[in-house]
Copies of this chain bind each other. A is one copy, B any other.
Amino acid sequence: MAKLQKSIDKRNALVKATIDLVNNNGFHATPMSKIAKMANVSPATIYLYFENKQDLVNQTYIDVKTEYTKYAFNGYDANAPVKEAFQYIWNRIADFKLKQCEHALFLAQCDNTPMIDEASRQEGIKHLQPLLDLWAKGKAEGVIKPYSDYILYAYAINPLAFLMLAQKRGAITLDDTLIKNAFEAAWNSIKK
């Protein structure tokens, strides 16, 4: 009850500031005081919304992961043919990483770092279920190679993270042609 009365805007500002600062400096190099300043609140206020710094970053991770997967599966038709369905999800994911680059980078940092609690990491994985279901269906139909989900993910989805990073560092520019090529490569590496 008390919690619901608190301004959701403030929580959002804190989460946003956390993403921004952690992206640019890393978790341990972003002081609570800076997060507070960027969110225009007092440091003490953070503790009204989050237990402590670890909780703040865990919740931020879950928030962003949820946003990511919601976007990825938004409008997705689980009954469409496998390739079509996969292409839909893949494009949504690419789109997310292109448009919400900062959020995607934050997730990459969380996933490659001991920054997040194991529990939160597990929690984050669950959100991908629809994609795993699609792969199961594709394997059953003999359309997709009988690899484990991890292999499929490593070959069909994860490369996008690398491309985002390369773009962020100014090494490439992700235009439509490049994305189209990347999808073909992704599909080819998992289709039977």
A: residues with CB less than 8 A from B are: 23-29, 108-109, 111-115, 145, 147-148, 150-151, 153-155, 158-160, 162-163, 165-166, 171-172, 178, 181-182, 185-186, 188-190
User: Would you call B27 and A151 a contact (CB within 8 A)?
Assistant: no
Known: A155-B159, A155-B185. 7 other contacts (CB 8 A): A112-B113, A145-B181, A148-B178, A150-B171, A153-B162, A154-B166, A155-B189
Is there an interface contact between A26 and B27, defined as CB atoms closer than 8 Å? yes
Measured CA separation A26–B110 after assembly (Å): 11
Where chain A touches its partner, the secondary structure class is: helix
Across-interface contacts of A108 in B (CB, < 8 A)? 112
Which residues of chain B are within 8 angstroms of A181 by Cβ–Cβ distance?
Answer: 145, 147, 151
Q: Is the CB of B162 within 8 A of A158?
A: yes
Considering the complex, give the chain B residue whose CB is closest to the CB of A164: B154
Once the chains are docked, how many angstroms separate the CA of A28 from the CA of B21? 14
> Who on chain B is nearest to A181 by CB?
B147
A-B contact pairs, 24 of them (CB 8 A): A25-B114, A26-B113, A26-B114, A28-B29, A111-B112, A112-B112, A112-B113, A112-B165, A145-B181, A145-B185, A147-B185, A148-B172, A148-B178, A150-B166, A151-B178, A151-B185, A154-B182, A155-B182, A155-B185, A155-B189, A158-B162, A159-B159, A185-B190, A186-B189
